[in-house]
Amino acid sequence: MKTIVIAIGGNSLIKDAQHQSVSDQYDAVVETVRHITDLLERGYRIVITHGNGPQVGFILLRSEHSRGILHQVPLDSIVADTQGALGYQLQQALENEFHRRGLKNAVATIVTQTLVDRNDPAFQKPTKPIGEFYTREQAEERMRVEQWTMVEDAGRGWRRVVASPKPMRIIEADVVGHLVKAGYVLVAAGGGGIPVVADEQGLLSGVPAVIDKDLASAVLANQIGADMLVISTAVEKVCLNFGKPDQRALDLMTVAQAKQFAAEHQFAAGSMLPKVEACVHFIQHGGREAVITCPSQLSLALAGGSGTRVLP
């Protein structure tokens, strides 16, 4: 029985600006888990990871509007909050789908920490924008009082930026691996995991950072010895010359080809590039194959009839 790690995006749970409420997000979750349950019925062991970018933004906005009334929420705690909230939605939707199909499987969400290097260069040069836009005066106050790093964003205002260090290890990977082998469907490493660093004694503490969920998913997949990493995104296949008249969809990429296409800037930095890099990382660290596709094509992609496969 093969073990697969399926990474779904936080943006995929929000269809558009008119469907951002919790109930709207749950409706999107319900749609996604139907396709995941199809894979469970085909005999796969499944670990689900998910993004949380928009959801973190909403919590930051609430925190900003309650400034002076309630305490500010640290970023690592916000990631933990989203792991619980989205895990709850995924658990409930999966359990309901299992009930409808007469399946006896159980689901568990693991609050997951991701170890990063306190000396990662990303901490010296934060680049990941989060939260809302501010005026120059507001930004200067936040930088002085909160010690935030802020940058002016293309004339739209000032925005907080935080570090995005590389994930080294998923702290709870052994728990995830044990439970998935026991037959549970797991939700783990939400939002790339809660970023933590270790001191000289190995004691952990949270840091204000965000971790790429695709790369964290690859790290988790390697740690638990998963057979396949599956990245669910908005498109059916990876394309070369995306959005141009000569756009070409790829059925297959080797690791060498993926690296070459990335060097040629075929993949957008904030979009397809981290997904391709995650697939390469998974395979270079012992994984057998990876697949990139959209939710509706998951079952067909794992049967070899859709999606883009990445192989050694």
d(CA 131, CA 142) in angstroms, rounded, equals 13
11 is catalytic: yes
Largest distance between two CA atoms of the chain? 58
The Cα 216–Cα 188 span in angstroms is 10
Residue 200, burial from CB neighbour count under 10 angstroms (0-12, 13-18, 19+): exposed
d(CA 90, CA 171): 22
For residue 127, which of 154, 162, 75 has the smallest C-alpha distance? 162
Single out the catalytic residue among 15, 128, 166, 259.
128
Task: Tell me whether residue 259 is one of the annotated catalytic residues.
Answer: no
**Distance in angstroms (rounded) separating the CA atoms of residues 39 and 37:** 5
Q: Which candidate in 51, 190, 191, 213 is catalytic?
A: 213
User: Which of these is catalytic: 190, 192, 237, 275?
Assistant: 275
Q: What share of the chain is helix, strand, coil (3-state, %, to 5)?
A: 40, 25, 35
Which is the catalytic residue, given 2, 11, 15, 206? 11
Candidates 10, 177, 191, 307; catalytic one: 10
Catalytically active residues, by annotation? 10-11, 128, 213, 275
